[in-house]
Amino acid sequence: MKYRVEYKDIGVRDYKETWDYQTEIFDKLVSYKKSAGSQMIPAENKPAGTLIFVEHPHVYTLGKSGSEDNLLVDYIQLKARDASFYKIDRGGDITYHGPGQIVGYPIFDLDAINIGLKEYIYKLEEAIIQTVAEYGLKASRLNGGTGVWLDPDKKGKARKICAIGVRASRYITMHGFAFNVNTSLDYFNFINPCGFTDKGVTSLEKELGSRQDYDKAKEIVRRKLEDIFDLEIVNK
């Protein structure tokens, strides 16, 4: 059975503006779920959620379980690099968003899609693993950490190509993933990415040695999410 979700590609947007937009959609879905209560609604009529794709200007975000010590520059230095900083309500530690990075915010009702949170994160990772495979690269998971990695088991060579951090309430998700396509990796030098001090960060551009077609990468990611989550994506 396919689960219908709205797809919104909102282009380049400020992080706070997008966070507020996410929250608005999230709150509406929570409100619907509360009002539906124990009513027997056929699965095909349940709203499964919304998938947002966006590209952010330079910004660092710190999850609720993270340490501000992992931000290695002060606010004056952030401003000098045209970057902003937000403490937010997702899991995970600190990460960077910026131009050339595909950021996906699936606001999904996991009850409607009929999966748990652990499986949800696994499927997000799988979508990126399969996307990277389309470029001839082998990616996988890291034991003890979320996200998608290249060479995760090779000491000194492990590097993350996609960060994942989510929040869930009433089994409805927020936040999501950040996949480095043509991302400027220099900005990761000013943090301990996801709290790690002994692992690197990479991008499709770095791995393949040339700038990649951003829109093509976005389309592949969308298709992989559609397949793996068994979605019917509706453009609105």
pLDDT confidence of residue 198:
63
- Domains of the chain (ranges plus CATH)? 3-235 (3.30.930.10)
Q: Rounded CA gap, 96 and 58, in Å?
A: 7
Residue 194 annotated to the active site: yes
Read off the pLDDT of residues 191-212 as tens digits, 9 standing for 90 and up. 775 555 567 899 999 999 999 9
Q: Rounded CA gap, 151 and 171, in Å?
A: 32
Q: Rounded CA gap, 172 and 112, in Å?
A: 9
Read off the pLDDT of residues 106-142 as tens digits, 9 standing for 90 and up. 999 999 999 999 999 999 999 999 999 999 999 999 9
Query: 39 pLDDT exceeds 60?
Result: no
Which position among 51, 164, 194, 217 bears the catalytic label? 194
pTM: 0.89
Q: Give the three-state DSSP class for 2.
A: coil
Q: Rounded CA gap, 47 and 6, in Å?
A: 9
Q: Do residues 127 and 209 lie in contact, with contact meaning Cβ atoms separated by under 8 Å?
A: no
DSSP H or E stretch at residue 51 = strand 49-55
Q: Rounded CA gap, 170 and 31, in Å?
A: 10
